[in-house]
């Protein structure tokens, strides 16, 4: 595809995905995401032709102008739409497919100092909400959505919606996904929840055993009968003590 055809396609994608785009002049002058994308394409051409230093320097100029940092070595497909865009960071080995939408504050970053592929891959039609972080060499499947403020550390299947820190799936192929096992939520509190759940189960077993022993020792009785017997004995004891002394309180408020 030629340069002018690509520019026209980028402009058309803005009109299709942003209802606030009301005129061509507004899109050309007031959309930093579009400017950053055009800067990137020139810088990417320089990077591929081994003008690495020049490409990096111009990418820093683009960051100062637009507030968006795209490494010139990243691979970006057609019709990328960066809405608002301030604070967006796309790392060196990131791969972005066609028709992807990114909002402000999105980071496609790495998780360490390892070499090679260390940034995420976004398949076609992916939507990333504002201030979301997609970290590491993971893949976001086609037409998946990442909720605002989420931190994605694992692969996301196609046609899924993920939210949370770290992110977990709540919708897949249009159907709600219910989490019934604490192991499915890989957050810092999951181990504590699992331990608490195990402890509750142990206590329930002990209570059932105690109830079974009481029922065995008092044939024909039930829990309500046991409690009423205890209440009656307590009242009888208080009555006896109150008759023997006029000055000593025997804990009437208990």
Q: Is the peptide bond preceding residue 166 cis, with omega within 30 degrees of 0?
A: yes
| Domain coverage including residue 233 | 190-244
Residues 84 and 131 in one domain: yes
Residues 94 and 167 in one domain: yes
Task: List, in sequence order, every residue forming a beta bridge with 175; answer none if it has no partner.
Answer: 172
Cβ 148 vs Cβ 161: under 8 Å: no
Residues 24 and 141 in one domain: yes
Using CA atoms, how far residue 144 sits from 81, 150, 169, 243, in Å, is 15, 13, 10, 78
User: What is the predicted pLDDT for the residue at 203?
Assistant: 85
β-strand pairing of 127-128 with 139-140: unpaired
Residues 197 and 174 in one domain: no
Last residue of a domain, one of 151, 178, 205: 178
Q: What is the pLDDT of residues 65-112, one digit of tens each?
A: 999 999 999 999 999 999 988 999 999 999 999 999 999 999 999 887
Per-residue pLDDT of the chain (254 residues; tens, 9 = 90+): 678 888 999 999 999 999 988 899 999 999 999 999 999 999 999 999 999 999 999 999 999 999 999 999 999 999 999 998 899 999 999 999 999 999 999 999 988 777 889 999 999 999 999 999 999 999 999 999 999 999 999 999 999 999 988 888 888 887 887 665 655 666 666 667 777 878 888 888 888 777 666 555 555 555 555 556 667 777 777 777 666 655 555 455 44
Consecutive H or E run containing 38: helix 32-48
Residues 162 and 57 in one domain: yes
User: What is the predicted pLDDT for the residue at 92?
Assistant: 93
Residue 117 lies in a domain: yes
Return the number of other C-beta atoms located less than 10 Å from residue 25's C-beta.
8
Residues 73 and 158 in one domain: yes
Give the total number of structural domains in the chain.
2
Return the number of other C-beta atoms located less than 10 Å from residue 15's C-beta.
13
**What is the distance, to the nearest Å, from the Cα of residue 33 to the centroid of all Cα atoms in its chain?**
24
Residue 9 lies in a domain: yes
Residue 74 lies in a domain: yes
Residues 27 and 115 in one domain: yes
User: What is the predicted pLDDT for the residue at 207?
Assistant: 81
Q: What's the DSSP call for residue 168?
A: E
**What is the distance, to the nearest Å, from the Cα of residue 63 to the centroid of all Cα atoms in its chain?**
26
Using CA atoms, how far residue 208 sits from 60, 163, 212, in Å, is 68, 39, 6
User: What is the predicted pLDDT for the residue at 114?
Assistant: 76
The set of residues, in sequence order, having a beta carbon less than 8 Å from that of 166 and lying 6+ positions away, is 150, 151, 152, 153, 154, 186, 187
User: What is the predicted pLDDT for the residue at 253?
Assistant: 47
Q: What's 40's domain CATH number?
A: 2.160.10.10
Return the number of other C-beta atoms located less than 10 Å from residue 138's C-beta.
16
Residues 20 and 103 in one domain: yes
């Amino acid at each position: 595809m030629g340069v002018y055809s690509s520019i026209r396609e980028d402009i058309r994608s803005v009109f299709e995905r942003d209802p606030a785009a009301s005129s061509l002049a507004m899109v050309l002058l007031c959309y930093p995401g579009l400017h950053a994308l055009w800067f990137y394409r020139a810088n990417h051409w320089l990077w591929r032709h081994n003008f690495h230093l020049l490409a990096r320097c111009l990418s820093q100029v683009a960051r100062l102008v637009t507030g968006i940092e795209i490494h010139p070595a990243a691979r970006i497909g057609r019709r990328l739409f960066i809405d608002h865009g301030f604070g967006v960071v796309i790392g060196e080995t990131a791969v972005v497919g066609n028709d992807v939408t990114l909002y402000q504050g999105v980071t496609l970053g790495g998780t360490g100092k390892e070499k090679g592929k260390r940034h995420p891959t976004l398949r076609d039609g992916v939507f990333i909400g504002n201030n979301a972080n997609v970290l590491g060499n993971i893949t976001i499947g086609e037409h998946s959505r990442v909720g605002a403020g989420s931190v994605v550390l694992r692969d996301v299947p196609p046609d899924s919606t993920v939210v949370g820190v770290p992110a977990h799936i709540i919708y897949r192929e249009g159907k709600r996904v219910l989490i019934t096992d604490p192991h499915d939520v890989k957050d810092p509190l999951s181990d504590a929840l699992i331990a608490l759940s195990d402890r509750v189960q142990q206590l329930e077993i002990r209570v059932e055993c105690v109830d079974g022993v009481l029922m065995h020792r008092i044939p024909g009785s039930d829990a309500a009968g046991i409690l009423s017997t205890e209440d009656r004995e307590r009242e009888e004891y208080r009555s006896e003590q109150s008759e023997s002394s006029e000055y000593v309180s025997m804990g009437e408020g208990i």
